[in-house]
Chains A and B, each alone.
Chain A
């Protein structure tokens, strides 16, 4: 099997994605065939990608370089390279693509005849291939180009349902924010070229002066942070994710925002190297703020997909906390803690890909069946859509960090790494780390509450709308897509050492410090590194215990109460005629306590409208709650007003419409540049 090299698998995968894109365009007329064929090709391509990633991650020790095209024009060599870090992200991408492609076969059915499905698949495959290339780009020029392609293609996908004004607004906001982020990256790459004379990021960065490193770090942090959707650069995320079709939301939230993590590790960790402590502190603080605020905003949200989007902000925050701790530890020479925190961050990355992918796909299924994204229109779906409800519950448990799902493992490791980072003698940093633990705990609790609300309001109780009452279970392919992801969540939660084994290779490459043998007790136990505390958990035994307790409880119940006797009566309804769905907790009511506690942050205001002539015996009452986003009100709105005002002025003063004035601008600029060249140059 010598021909099955990583190079071969990688290029086959990329070519197959491109074929899928072209096939979609060719079969534009026949939507059904187009959707089926493109999905199948994408599935095969993702299998190849999976194989390439595994091969590279497990069996190769050298960086794979694939020179696709070499030209005499400087900096225009198309080189793909894949080391362990790239392979890890390609792995995440391929798993998610596999499931999303399966899911799309069914999901795209409700677009037949309404939207251009062929175009969708063209963009879909293009989106995947652009992310693939982001992870494998061999130099900064290629990276930048594919990064931009990814941004533009995803913009078109976000605004796929283009006739809704909300979608248009979300699309514009997204493209503007992502371009601002890209601008920062561009400056960083230019600085890189200015001082090293090369766009190659695999060479040493020792030519960069100290202050330029700091500037580049900030540029990378803002540039990648915008894509990651961390606070305060997050505003596009809660709009773009709900606007996009659900399979695209899953891809965007599952893997696209992870390109930022990849970029941060690739350019800051590997290229710049971590020497300054404040870098780690900056990342940590941003991560803490994102984790807490992200989930706090998620909690009060009524729109399922927007809630998931805010939850993505929270999870990116958790990943950032891990990376921040690892940066701090490495800069202080605590290699073991650094490696542990990095492992935790990477594990949370892959876990978030799995469970957020699953959750978004399930949210898509719900939308597919109920035709609404608002929780207040749902309820009782567990009876109508049991399979989707099961998978959704799995994803929700995972994101809430419940044993035995995978979210627990990565958050546990993050906690361990923070605790291990607290070392006597560094008061300021220790206080910060304690706050980080508090932030992580708070966000974990709120996340659990948040998903109780999401699951309870949407899936339990009585149906709140006609559509919810008559919803049907989704097609098999959709269940399969989300089911695989949820199953992987459970499996990697029970057997975390396999996932950790893969991540260990990445950490080995990044930090040259193997962590796996420290974490591995035997097959049952997952240790916090022995050098540090040596406390351990065993997910398998926890699962076993849960099963035993449940079985035991059932058994004892049986012994005490004997054979089951069932009596069926209606719930006591306080003497009203009948229970109706409006007697249930609503989503807004459920989140009220938190809304009151964090009143300062949400700035919530309520509006009660009483209809009818008599105040005490109204015909109808209408109650609505509005919250306002502080960041939008105090940061983004003023900036956007300023830009608009400036543009309007510029239109009258600078952009006069006269060809002569424009020529004069060019002429004067030329003269000034020549003068500058003569005097300064």
Chain B
């Protein structure tokens, strides 16, 4: 069982590298969708496991929510938002892709280096799943920094959320249902608001390059 999880966590991490390597907005929405699928798969396996062993369906429900929300609804919303704003082909990142990948590798190493001392259930052991999923958080954050367009920030935020969710999954094998649901509600609200904000920014500045927000400073 643990082997499956090891492989899945590695795949999820890999998908985030793919994300960083993507050039176009449309393609990183797609990569995000793929990542969400992998997370749903992980939750599904974990859910089946807990259903067969303890007869609980909590995690399966969570899996279903992920499928609906992250695989279907949020990408659709993002595409819609993206279609609404005028598209200009522009370089969307500050550094070039090889350097971004290189930095992401360092982030993974850093996660490997620093996670074992975080106290709690597996203090002292290196749990490769947690390291991978934790790296996902850092890479998501880094992704937010590296992209200029506002949709990049939304995707980065979603990746961070994915990372946190999957870290929780791997370290606890199922959080309390109410917590998961609360997180999802937060998430959907955040994405909706950010979608609106992107449209607004576009209306105001005729671009969604958030570097332009500098002009708002007092």
Contacts and interface: CB of A to CB of B under 8 A. Distances in A.
**B-side binding surface: helix, strand, loop or mixed?**
helix
Nearest to A673: B114
A656 B217 contact: yes
Nearest to A657: B217
B96 interface: no
In this complex, which of A660, A664, A667 has the most chain B Cβ atoms within 10 angstroms of its Cβ?
A: A660
A677 B214 contact: no
A667 B145 contact: yes
**A-side binding surface: helix, strand, loop or mixed?**
helix
Interface string A641-681: 00000000001000111111001101100110011011001
B126 to A, nearest CB: 12
Contacts of A663: 141, 144-145
Interface string B124-145: 0000000000000010011011
Contacts of B210: 659-660
B216 interface: yes
In this complex, which of B142, B148, B214, B215 has the most chain A Cβ atoms within 10 angstroms of its Cβ?
A: B214
A314 B16 CA distance: 68
A528 B145 CA distance: 74
Q: How large is the interface on A (under 10, 10 to 19, 20 to 34, 35 or more residues)?
A: 10 to 19
B110 A660 contact: no
B114 A678 contact: yes
B118 interface: yes
In this complex, which of A651, A657, A658, A659 has the most chain B Cβ atoms within 10 angstroms of its Cβ?
A: A659
A664 B94 CA distance: 13
Contact of B114 (A655, A657, A677): A677
B153 interface: yes
A658 B213 contact: yes
B189 interface: no
Contacts of A660: 94, 145, 148, 210-211
Contacts of B214: 656-658
A657 B216 contact: yes
A663 to B, nearest CB: 5
A667 B142 contact: yes
Contacts of A674: 110, 114
B113 interface: yes
Contacts of B213: 657-659
A677 B145 contact: no
A268 to B, nearest CB: 36
A671 B139 CA distance: 12
Interface in A371-419: none
B212 to A, nearest CB: 10
A665 to B, nearest CB: 10
Contacts of B27: none
A678 B141 contact: no
A655 B153 CA distance: 20
Contacts of B94: 660
A681 B117 contact: yes
Contacts of B118: 677
Contacts of A675: 110, 114
A671 B108 CA distance: 12
Contacts of A651: 217
Contacts of A670: 138, 141
Nearest to A659: B210
A367 B161 CA distance: 62
Nearest to B215: A657
Interface in B99-123: 110, 113-114, 116-118
A652 to B, nearest CB: 9
Nearest to A652: B217
Contacts of A681: 117
A678 B217 contact: no
Contacts of A666: 141
Contacts of A658: 211, 213-214
Nearest to A656: B214
B137 to A, nearest CB: 9
Contacts of B148: 660
A672 to B, nearest CB: 11
A678 B117 CA distance: 6
Nearest to A675: B114
Interface in A108-131: none
Given A664-B145, A667-B141, A667-B145, A678 B216 contact: no
Contacts of A664: 145
Interface of A: 651, 655-660, 663-664, 666-667, 670-671, 674-675, 677-678, 681
| Interface pairs A-B: 9 shortest CB-CB | A657-B217, A657-B214, A674-B114, A678-B114, A663-B145, A678-B117, A659-B210, A667-B141, A658-B214
Given A659-B210, A670-B141, A675-B114, 6 more contacts: A655-B217, A658-B211, A659-B213, A660-B145, A675-B110, A677-B117
Interface of B: 94, 110, 113-114, 116-118, 138, 141-142, 144-145, 148, 153, 210-211, 213-217
10 contacts: A655-B217, A656-B214, A657-B214, A657-B217, A660-B210, A667-B138, A671-B138, A674-B114, A677-B114, A678-B114
